[in-house]
Amino acid sequence: MIATAPAPAPRGQTALAVVITGGIGYGLYFGAFGAWSPYFPVYFSGLGADLAVIGVLSAIPALVQIVAAPAWGLLADRIGDVRPLLLVASLVAGASGILLGQNPSVALLFPGVAIFALGTAGMPAMIDAHVVVRLGAARDRFGQARAFGSAGFIAISIVTGLVVAGSGAQTLFVIFVPLMVLTGVAAATLFGRPVTRERVGGIGPMGAIRLLNNRSLALFFIGACVTWTAASGGLTYFSLRLVEQGADAGLIGIGWAVNAIVEVPMMLLFRRLARRFGVRALMVGGAVAFGLRSAGWALAGSAVASVLASSVGGIGLALFLVGTTAWVADRTPPALRATAQALFLGTTYAIGAIVGALAAGFIASGWGLSVMFAWSAATGLTGAAITWLAVGRPVPWGRTVAG
């Protein structure tokens, strides 16, 4: 049986210190993705990959993440400390960037992306678990720490856009690799000692599966998968949509930055919004926002209009991601804190990214990007409906998860 005692209050660091140190980890990690996400489709396209291949390559990280994210989480729960695992993962991810940055053939992109996925798969969930546990009763401040990640993404995506515009898409790796490695170094040196050094016995793959015995959690798992399918499918081709509409690398960077710029105030305001409207309402609102963003991209007649539409996605990510972290933390056992975050954030995102990228690639290749974005919009609203059914009447986890 899995222990269900509440997590102890954090020791050794104030809530503000946890927000700052955790925020540094988020800033570096998502800063690295600010170099990667907007420009890897452009880089892969320049190497000869067509739209369908880019869709498959985009799905590989998610496919790996389905297994790797819970595995990283389970291992972290086993040893009771995320710091050494974050360092190892960051080195693996950095090594993949070095390999991918050597202008490989299209065939070699597949193993390179798989190594990238193995390294990055569990990192955000492990940082999430560290921050949530260290904050203890103050975990409604989680959004303040996570906002550092959005700020890092904004700054680095813009800087990378300027660098890529002058030196080519390959230079994204000059920025990506150091930031990814620094993420692990920062975690190892700045994150406080675990709340408890006790290793948790009896934690294994079945512990993660038992979380889905709870009907609310199981239905939410489905809703999250559908929501991330919509979000990921549309976002995979956002950069190519801008290229189709005549945007240069600088505007592509701004387009991704606008999305993240909106995330920062929404994450900072999440604590206040949750007290007024409730976490569940914010989660549903976030899923709706993803659908509206894709609808905007389907209807936008210019690159500037597409950039403006992308701002709605910042609302969606802030509300759905932060809401999921808080909602899951309240309904899962402390002994499975990293596993639960990996399952309901990492794995659901991975499944959504796989289905989204493959479906979006198929639709875009056959009917064009506008039709694909319309499909993404409908999928987002479907995810919102399922999420509402899942979180509207929560069931306490203690009766079903720990049994």
Q: Tens digits of per-residue pLDDT, 14-63?
A: 888 888 999 999 999 999 998 988 888 888 988 888 877 887 887 788 78
Q: Which residue has the tokens 């503000």?
A: 16
Q: Give the whole-angstrom CA distance, residue 130 versus residue 5.
A: 18
Q: For residues 250 and 359, which has the higher predicted lDDT (pLDDT)?
A: 359
User: Which of 181-195, 196-210, 378-392 is predicted most confidently?
Assistant: 378-392
Of residues 317 and 28, more confidently modeled:
28
The residue among 236, 235, 250, 212 whose CA lies nearest residue 317 is 235
* Dihedral of the alpha carbons of 266, 387, 297, 343, in degrees to the nearest 10: 80
Give pLDDT, residue 208.
Answer: 57
Supply the DSSP symbol for 335. G
pLDDT of residue 196: 53
Task: Determine the average pLDDT of the residues in 260-285.
Answer: 85
The amino acid that residue 144 corresponds to is: Q
The token duo for 107 is: 């065939």
The average pLDDT across 204-222 equals: 70
**Residues 397, 331: contact at Cβ < 8 Å?**
yes
pLDDT at residue 173, rounded to an integer: 93
**Domains of the chain and any CATH numbers:** 15-399 (1.20.1250.20)
User: What is the SS3 assignment for 403?
Assistant: coil
- Are 2 and 335 in contact, with CB atoms under 8 Å apart? yes
Q: Structure tokens of 214?
A: 């709870």
Cα 319 to Cα 150: distance, rounded to the nearest angstrom: 13
Query: Is the Cβ–Cβ distance between 63 and 350 less than 8 Å?
Result: yes
**What percent helix, strand, coil does the chain show, rounded to 5?**
85, 0, 15
What's the CA gap between 43 and 100, in Å, rounded?
10
DSSP state string for 13-43: S-HHHHHHHHHHHHHHHHHHHHHHTTTHHHH
- d(CA 241, CA 165) in angstroms, rounded, equals 17
Contact 238, 306 (CB under 8 A): yes
DSSP designation for 248? -
Please determine, for residue 336, whether its predicted confidence score (pLDDT) is greater than 50. yes
Q: CA geometry: angle at 236 spanning 31 and 72, to 5°?
A: 55
338 falls in which pLDDT band (50, 70, 90)? low
- 381, 359, 383: which is closest to 371 by C-alpha? 359
User: How much is the pTM?
Assistant: 0.70
